[in-house]
């Protein structure tokens, strides 16, 4: 009987902990257990045999920490470990060898420095060695404490062999992995990756696992593995011991087996004696596989979100359609702007973020991968990867630290054939659009029929109905007044069939004025019709009103507490903005009060021109704090807060400034390498733009080579450089020299508080501008106009 058949029929046992046993057999402090595969094969075989003798069914190869970064002879160690394990099993029919892979001990980027694909490659090397040496009965990926690293190991296994894959993670006493994931998140991701058995090992011993087991039995459909330590580690007289006796341990194993663990075994501190007793005590207990669960779950590195219960909000703001600012940010690869949109929506209360970075002129797959990587570093929300490019989808799905939502597939054969295999491989909850080769049906029945067609096709790829959410499409009522009815009718019909639904609700009002009036009404009606999730704008109060109101009215909000919180928060905001009348804009900036500075700036602009506000309020505030910093009466944290408040006020001013027609010529701007002061440069930019120049802003802390490349790529002959510190003037000089050397016809203007006209000439600049207005004059003269 194969291992896979066996685990679905009866409870079987892994062996116990290797380390502690080898210590007893003479492993020295500082010596790595894996080296014993070669140096003491007889001890390893004897240990395996002791577990088999105790009644264990699966033994783990002694390869936990092996990888080619840690062991130059990784390959031989793996070969020897497999040889030892097989040797031991030879005399025990019906037993199995699990090829063991543990964590790399490195942290994945961006927090650590291990690149995702390098991590996959590290595991892939082991898997390739395994197959070259004849394979095993399964791969056990164990003691993993990071969701993304777990995924890397699983992908490596899937891509280089066909063996069953078992995964166990190490949860801490809070019930999370060290890097944050809870059991629901891991189950969602791993079942999405079609792992064969899932569970937990190591950690805090069987008691803690008993408290976590219900999460597994509630959400997992695969066999559940539980391999605990022999209690908690204690040390006495320089020796580690675990605080449970074999009898206690066996008692806990009975409880674990009774409550649904289907594969048991041990980890640190569990000698053959522990396993022998545990097997003996559990052997007559009835066995039941976990039932298959019908839950639709997407997950992030930390948690899962269920679709199909309370309605789920999906933030729509990271999508360039109709958003000129976001388009600009994408063209300039300004991830910060995107990240801020993500963070603000998270704070506004959505549960999932839609990510769409499609623009014809950019490399969408690369941008999608970069954006997803950056976003999952700053938000814990699951992401909806939204693209019509299968390549963009795949690149993001690969590096995504969980089970993503995928937007979308439609009823066209070409779409299904390119997207369904991706979901089959990486896992995900797929949004299915009800359109196909013949367009969008204008009847409810037509849309339902396409949904059913997609569900049917998905089955061929092994994708279950629970992993598909149907979008019956929102078309604007401005072109067909019946379209709202059809969409709502389709939501209702699909809901009746037990199919979850999602809509991009904002579309309903496309082309109408005051869309904020129509959208909430449509949203409320869609929820009433049974809508499971909405892709929407959480910054529109009306939409959030509907959401909290609906949940309170339909039993999704226990004791109406979310609604009450929301209502109180709204009140607070109105009260605050009415009563905090203390101080001018300048004072707000000096005190570093970002929110107040924003409010004051908006007020000021009612009767002041943006430029005059900058000159009379923002710059004097910065000067005052700057002087204080120099005199050591103001310190860095305060300086930072002031800069932030100033930047906010400046953003408000920028919104009000009209940008010209971009036809007067192009200018490149940058703050030089080593310098992050960019407020002055930003002012220069805005002024130039308002005079009709196109500005290519390379940002701050920009290397000389990048600036040269920017000039060459854009055929731009005038470059503006900014520096605020004595220490960054040399970088400016270097940049000027490189620009002049590369193309002597390029002209360079410089500015920033640290420079003087003399200084500017000395470092080879062509022009010096004392302020932003002078920058405009210089550029106008350069382009020969006036």
**Stretch of 322-330, 376-384, 497-505, 740-748 lying at the interface with other proteins (CB under 8 A):** 376-384
| Binding test (CB under 6 A) with ligand B12, winner from 392, 679, 718, 739 | 679
| Binding test (CB under 6 A) with ligand B12, winner from 298, 318, 684, 732 | 684
CB 10 within 8 A of CB 257: no
In the bound complex, what is the minimum distance in angstroms from residue 406's beta carbon to other proteins?
25
| Binding test (CB under 6 A) with ligand B12, winner from 390, 542, 583, 626 | 626
92 conformational bin, left if phi > 0, alpha if psi -120 to 50, beta if neither: beta
Residue 750's binding partner, choosing from ligand B12, other proteins, none, with beta-carbon cut-off 5 to 8 A by kind? ligand B12
Residue 178's binding partner, choosing from other proteins, ligand B12, none, with beta-carbon cut-off 5 to 8 A by kind? other proteins
| Binding test (CB under 8 A) with other proteins, winner from 7, 22, 80, 755 | 22
| Binding test (CB under 8 A) with other proteins, winner from 110, 309, 462, 757 | 110
Cα separation values, 711 from 48, 690, 703, 735, 778, Å: 66, 21, 13, 12, 18
295 strand-pairing partners: none
726 binds other proteins (CB under 8 A): no
Residue 103's binding partner, choosing from ligand B12, other proteins, none, with beta-carbon cut-off 5 to 8 A by kind? other proteins
538 binds other proteins (CB under 8 A): no
CB 677 within 8 A of CB 725: yes
Q: Which is nearer to other proteins, 241 or 691 (CB)?
A: 241
Residue 681's binding partner, choosing from ligand B12, other proteins, none, with beta-carbon cut-off 5 to 8 A by kind? ligand B12
In the three-class reduction of DSSP (H, G, I as helix; E, B as strand; rest coil), residue 533 is classed as strand
676 binds ligand B12 (CB under 6 A): yes
Report the C-alpha gap between 410 and 432 in whole angstroms: 5
Report the C-alpha gap between 721 and 212 in whole angstroms: 58
Interaction pattern, residues 145-174, with other proteins; x per rule: CB under 8 A: x------------------------x-xxx
166-190 b/e with 16+ CB inside 10 Å = b?
bbbbbbeeebbbebbbbbbbbbbbb
Q: Where are the alpha helices (DSSP H) in 461-512?
A: 483-496
| Binding test (CB under 6 A) with ligand B12, winner from 6, 303, 677, 685 | 677
| Binding test (CB under 8 A) with other proteins, winner from 107, 359, 560, 738 | 107
Residue 112's binding partner, choosing from other proteins, ligand B12, none, with beta-carbon cut-off 5 to 8 A by kind? other proteins
Residue 775's binding partner, choosing from ligand B12, other proteins, none, with beta-carbon cut-off 5 to 8 A by kind? ligand B12
Report the C-alpha gap between 321 and 99 in whole angstroms: 49
Cα separation values, 290 from 165, 176, 224, Å: 17, 22, 8
Residue 675's binding partner, choosing from ligand B12, other proteins, none, with beta-carbon cut-off 5 to 8 A by kind? ligand B12
Residue 751's binding partner, choosing from other proteins, ligand B12, none, with beta-carbon cut-off 5 to 8 A by kind? ligand B12
In the bound complex, what is the minimum distance in angstroms from residue 769's beta carbon to ligand B12?
3
- Please name which of 198, 255, 186 lies closest in space to residue 225, comparing C-alpha atoms: 198
Report the C-alpha gap between 593 and 532 in whole angstroms: 40
399 binds other proteins (CB under 8 A): no
Token pair for 741: 């050397």
297 strand-pairing partners: 306
Cβ neighbours of residue 68 under 8 Å, at least 6 residues apart? 74, 75, 122, 125
- Strand pairing class (165-169; 233-236): unpaired
Q: Which is nearer to other proteins, 440 or 625 (CB)?
A: 625
749 binds ligand B12 (CB under 6 A): yes
Cβ neighbours of residue 409 under 8 Å, at least 6 residues apart? 415, 416, 419, 420, 423, 430, 431, 432, 433, 454
| Binding test (CB under 8 A) with other proteins, winner from 240, 443, 623, 761 | 240
Token pair for 75: 């390959």
In the bound complex, what is the minimum distance in angstroms from residue 690's beta carbon to ligand B12?
14
**Stretch of 24-32, 566-574, 652-660, 747-755 lying at the interface with other proteins (CB under 8 A):** 24-32
- Please name which of 554, 621, 557, 564 lies closest in space to residue 587, comparing C-alpha atoms: 621
DSSP secondary structure, 566-590, as one string: HHHHHHHHHHHHHH---S-HHHHHH
752 binds ligand B12 (CB under 6 A): yes
DSSP secondary structure, 295-349, as one string: -EEEE-SS-EEEESSS-EEEEEEE--TT-HHHHHHHHTT-HHHHHHHHHHHHHHT
643 binds other proteins (CB under 8 A): yes
402 binds other proteins (CB under 8 A): no
Residue 621's binding partner, choosing from other proteins, ligand B12, none, with beta-carbon cut-off 5 to 8 A by kind? none
The total number of residues written for the chain in this structure? 786
In the bound complex, what is the minimum distance in angstroms from residue 328's beta carbon to ligand B12?
19
592 binds ligand B12 (CB under 6 A): no
Interaction pattern, residues 633-672, with ligand B12; x per rule: CB under 6 A: ---x--xx--x-----------------------------
Residue 320's binding partner, choosing from ligand B12, other proteins, none, with beta-carbon cut-off 5 to 8 A by kind? none
Interaction pattern, residues 707-726, with ligand B12; x per rule: CB under 6 A: -------------xxx-xxx
DSSP 8-state symbol, 358: -
What sign for the dihedral angle of Cα 411, 412, 415, 421? positive
Q: Which is nearer to ligand B12, 7 or 750 (CB)?
A: 750
- Please name which of 60, 42, 39 lies closest in space to residue 51, comparing C-alpha atoms: 60
Interaction pattern, residues 564-593, with other proteins; x per rule: CB under 8 A: ----------------------------x-
41 binds other proteins (CB under 8 A): no
675 binds ligand B12 (CB under 6 A): yes
| Binding test (CB under 6 A) with ligand B12, winner from 619, 670, 711, 763 | 619
Report the C-alpha gap between 638 and 592 in whole angstroms: 7
750 binds ligand B12 (CB under 6 A): yes
In the bound complex, what is the minimum distance in angstroms from residue 681's beta carbon to ligand B12?
5
Report the C-alpha gap between 602 and 599 in whole angstroms: 5
DSSP secondary structure, 241-301, as one string: EES--HHHHHHHHHHHHHTT--EE---TT--HHHHHHHHHHHTTS---PPPPP--EEEE-S
With contacts defined by CB under 8 A, how many residues of the chain interact with other proteins? 56
**Stretch of 14-22, 355-363, 609-617, 778-786 lying at the interface with other proteins (CB under 8 A):** 14-22
769 binds ligand B12 (CB under 6 A): yes
Report the C-alpha gap between 141 and 183 in whole angstroms: 16
Q: From the CB of residue 219, how many other CB atoms can be counted at a distance below 10 Å?
A: 21
Residue 699's binding partner, choosing from other proteins, ligand B12, none, with beta-carbon cut-off 5 to 8 A by kind? none
**Stretch of 287-295, 580-588, 598-606, 622-630 lying at the interface with ligand B12 (CB under 6 A):** 622-630
DSSP 8-state symbol, 558: G
- Please name which of 347, 360, 353, 356 lies closest in space to residue 393, comparing C-alpha atoms: 356
In the bound complex, what is the minimum distance in angstroms from residue 369's beta carbon to other proteins?
18
CB 89 within 8 A of CB 37: no
Q: Catalog residues that contact ligand B12 under the rule CB under 6 A.
A: 619, 622-623, 625-626, 629-630, 636, 639-640, 643, 674-681, 683-684, 720-722, 724-727, 749-754, 769, 771-772, 774-775
Q: Catalog residues that contact other proteins under the rule CB under 8 A.
A: 19-20, 22-23, 27-33, 103, 105-107, 110-114, 143, 145, 170, 172-174, 178-180, 202, 233-236, 238-240, 336, 339-340, 343-344, 377-380, 592, 594, 635-637, 640-644
């Amino acid at each position: 009987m194969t291992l896979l058949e066996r685990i679905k029929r009866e409870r079987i046992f892994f062996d116990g902990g290797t380390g502690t046993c080898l210590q007893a057999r003479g492993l020295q402090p500082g010596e790595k257990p894996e080296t014993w595969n070669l140096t003491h094969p007889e001890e390893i075989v004897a240990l395996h045999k002791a577990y088999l003798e105790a009644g264990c069914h699966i033994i783990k190869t002694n390869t936990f920490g092996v990888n080619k970064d840690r062991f130059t002879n990784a390959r031989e160690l793996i070969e020897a470990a497999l040889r030892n394990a097989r040797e031991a099993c030879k005399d025990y029919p019906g037993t199995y060898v699990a090829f063991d892979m543990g964590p790399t001990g490195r942290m994945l980027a961006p927090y650590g420095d291990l690149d995702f694909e390098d991590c996959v490659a590290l595991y892939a090397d082991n898997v390739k060695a395994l197959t070259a040496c004849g394979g095993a009965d399964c791969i056990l990926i164990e003691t993993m404490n990071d969701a993304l690293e777990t995924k890397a190991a699983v992908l490596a296994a899937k891509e280089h062999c066909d063996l069953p894959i078992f995964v166990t993670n190490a949860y801490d006493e809070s019930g999370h992995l060290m890097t944050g994931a809870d059991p629901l998140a891991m189950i969602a991701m791993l079942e999405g990756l079609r792992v064969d058995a899932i569970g937990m090992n190591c950690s805090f011993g069987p008691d803690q696992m008993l408290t976590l087991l219900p999460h597994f039995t509630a959400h997992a459909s695969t066999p559940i593995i539980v391999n605990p330590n022999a209690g908690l580690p204690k040390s006495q007289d320089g020796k580690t011991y675990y605080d449970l006796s074999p009898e206690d341990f066996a008692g806990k194993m009975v409880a674990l087996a009774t409550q649904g663990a289907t594969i048991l075994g041990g980890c640190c501190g569990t000698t053959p004696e522990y396993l022998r007793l545990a097997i003996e005590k559990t052997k007559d207990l009835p066995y039941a596989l976990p039932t298959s669960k019908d839950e639709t779950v997407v997950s992030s590195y930390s948690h899962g979100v269920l679709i199909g219960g309370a309605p789920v909000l999906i933030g729509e703001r990271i999508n360039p359609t109709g958003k000129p600012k976001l388009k600009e940010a994408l063209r300039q690869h300004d991830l910060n702007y995107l990240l801020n949109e993500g963070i603000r929506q998270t704070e506004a209360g959505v549960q999932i973020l839609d990510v769409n970075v499609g623009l014809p002129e950019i490399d969408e797959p690369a941008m999608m991968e970069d954006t997803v990587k950056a976003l999952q570093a700053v938000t814990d929300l699951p992401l909806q990867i939204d693209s019509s490019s299968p390549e963009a989808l795949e690149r993001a799905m690969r590096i995504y630290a969980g089970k993503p939502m995928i937007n979308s597939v439609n009823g066209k054969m070409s779409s299904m054939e390119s997207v369904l295999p991706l979901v089959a491989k990486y896992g995900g909850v797929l949004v299915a659009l009800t359109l196909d080769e013949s367009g969008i049906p204008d009847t409810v029945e037509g849309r339902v029929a396409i949904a059913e067609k997609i569900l049917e096709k998905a089955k061929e790829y092994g994708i279950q109905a629970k992993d598909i959410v149907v979008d019956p499409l929102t078309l604007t009522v401005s072109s067909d007044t019946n379209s709202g009815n059809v969409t709502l009718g389709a939501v209702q019909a699909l809901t009746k069939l037990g199919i979850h639904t999602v809509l991009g609700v904002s579309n309903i009002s496309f082309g109408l004025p005051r869309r904020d009036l129509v959208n909430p009404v449509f949203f409320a009606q869609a929820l009433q019709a049974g809508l499971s999730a909405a892709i929407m704008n959480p910054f529109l109060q009306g939409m959030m009103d509907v959401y909290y109101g609906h949940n309170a009215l339909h039993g999704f909000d226990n004791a109406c507490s979310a609604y009450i919180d929301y209502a109180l928060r709204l009140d607070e905001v109105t009260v605050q903005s009415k009563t905090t009348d203390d101080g001018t804009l300048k004072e707000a900036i000096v005190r570093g009060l970002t929110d107040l500075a924003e409010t004051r700036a908006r007020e000021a602009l009612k009767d002041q021109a943006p430029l005059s506000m900058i000159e009379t309020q923002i710059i004097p505030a910065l000067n005052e704090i700057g002087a204080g910093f120099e005199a050591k009466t103001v310190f860095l944290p305060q300086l930072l807060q002031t800069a932030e408040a100033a930047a906010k006020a400046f953003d408000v001013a920028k919104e009000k400034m009209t940008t010209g027609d971009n036809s007067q010529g192009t200018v490149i701007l940058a703050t030089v390498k080593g310098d992050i002061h960019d407020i002055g440069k930003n002012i220069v930019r805005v002024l130039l733009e308002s005079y009709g120049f196109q500005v290519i802003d390379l940002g701050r802390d920009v290397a000389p080579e990048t600036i040269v490349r920017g000039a060459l790529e854009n055929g731009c002959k005038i470059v503006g450089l900014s520096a605020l510190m004595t220490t960054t003037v040399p970088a400016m000089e270097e940049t000027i020299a490189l620009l002049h050397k590369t193309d002597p016809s390029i002209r360079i203007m410089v500015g920033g508080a640290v420079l003087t006209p003399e200084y500017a000439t000395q470092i080879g600049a062509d022009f010096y501008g004392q302020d932003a207005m002078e920058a405009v004059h210089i550029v106008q003269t350069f382009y020969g106009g006036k």
